[in-house]
C-alpha cells in the first residue's frame, strides 16, 4: 500500500545544495515526489511510496551529510496519495 509523507525541514537548509542532495538520495529508493524551498527559509519534501521505502528514505536524508544542516524536521501524514509524479523532482 502506498503512503504519502510531507516533511518540512528548518535550519540551514537553503543555499547548501539541500534539494539536489535530497534528489540524489531519492534515486536510491522506490519513492516518487518532490522537494522545494519555501519563502520562510524552510524546505518542504513530499514523498509517496511503500511505508518501508518512505521511512528508509527519510532516515537516509536525516543521517546523510544533510543532518548537520537540519535543526528540525516536522513530519505529517498526507491523506491519500499525492498527485501523480514520475520520479523525484526539484520544484521551484
Question: Domain coordinates of the chain in residue numbers?
Answer: 2-78
Q: Among the options 6, 36, 37, 71, which is catalytic? A: 37
What's the pLDDT tens digit per position in 24-43? Answer: 999 999 999 999 999 999 99
Residue 19: active-site member:
yes
Q: Which of 5, 6, 12, 19 is catalytic?
A: 19
**pLDDT score of 79 more than 70:** no
* pLDDT score of 82 more than 70: no
Q: What is the spatial distance between Cα 10 and Cα 46, in angstroms, rounded to a whole number?
A: 15
Fold of the domain built from segment(s) 2-78: Alpha-Beta Plaits (3.30.70)
pTM (whole model) above 0.85: yes
Say if CB 25 and CB 76 are below 8 A apart: no
Chain mean pLDDT for the chain = 93
pLDDT in the model for residue 84: 62
83 falls in which pLDDT band (50, 70, 90)?
low
CA 16 → CA 8, 25, 81, distances in Å?
16, 15, 29
Residue 71 annotated among the catalytic residues of the structure = no
Amino acid at each position: 500500500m502506498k503512503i504519502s509523507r510531507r516533511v518540512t525541514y528548518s535550519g540551514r537548509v537553503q543555499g547548501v545544495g539541500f534539494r539536489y542532495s535530497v534528489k540524489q538520495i531519492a534515486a536510491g529508493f522506490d519513492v516518487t515526489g518532490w522537494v522545494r524551498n519555501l519563502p520562510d527559509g524552510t524546505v518542504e519534501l513530499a514523498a509517496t511510496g511503500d511505508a518501508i521505502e518512505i521511512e528508509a528514505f527519510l532516515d537516509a536524508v536525516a543521517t546523510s551529510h544533510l543532518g548537520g544542516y537540519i535543526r528540525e524536521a516536522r513530519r505529517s501524514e498526507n491523506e491519500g496519495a499525492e498527485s501523480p509524479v514520475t520520479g523525484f523532482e526539484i520544484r521551484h
